[in-house]
Amino acid sequence: MSEVNAPQGRKKYGSVWTGSEYIVWGGTLANDKETNTGGIYDPEINQWFSMTTEGAPTASDYSVAVWTGTHVIFWSTSGGALYNPETDTWTPLRTNNSPSGQRTRPLAVWTGSQLIILGGNNSAMNTGGIWTP
């Protein structure tokens, strides 16, 4: 991997494979500080590209990520957002009728039209919700 523009090392981050790129966002940096930064890796050219933080969700760890075919949905303890890798833009998710964001390590599944969030390692463990764009 090329380290040019590579995001800082982190743990507890969200990541997803789009079919052509690997996208990483959020997590906790080495100093245990949560971050709202990320990066996109294109293995075909062995290059990292940075992601804008303008409009990004607040810093968070334990985010989950799903690929919709055009956008990445990141969901974390601070809520969620859609990321468009083509335009490098963020759109906050509507929060009405959404599953609680206060979940650590939930399961997230994209059905093709809805995001299903289930469980987590806290009081939300036996609950879930569905978010429809």
Predicted local confidence at residue 42, as pLDDT = 95
**In angstroms, rounded to a whole number, what is the distance separating the alpha carbons of residues 96 and 74?**
17
Query: Confidence class of residue 37 from pLDDT cuts 50, 70 and 90?
Result: very high
| pTM reported for the whole predicted model | 0.84
| Percent of the chain scoring above 90 in pLDDT | 41
> Tens digit of pLDDT for each residue in 47-89?
999 999 999 888 887 788 999 999 999 887 667 889 999 999 9
Cα–Cα distance list, 56 to 52, 92, 114 (Å): 7, 8, 21
| Closest by CA position to 75, among listed 40, 116, 39, 111 | 116
Predicted local confidence at residue 100, as pLDDT = 59
DSSP structural state of residue 119: -
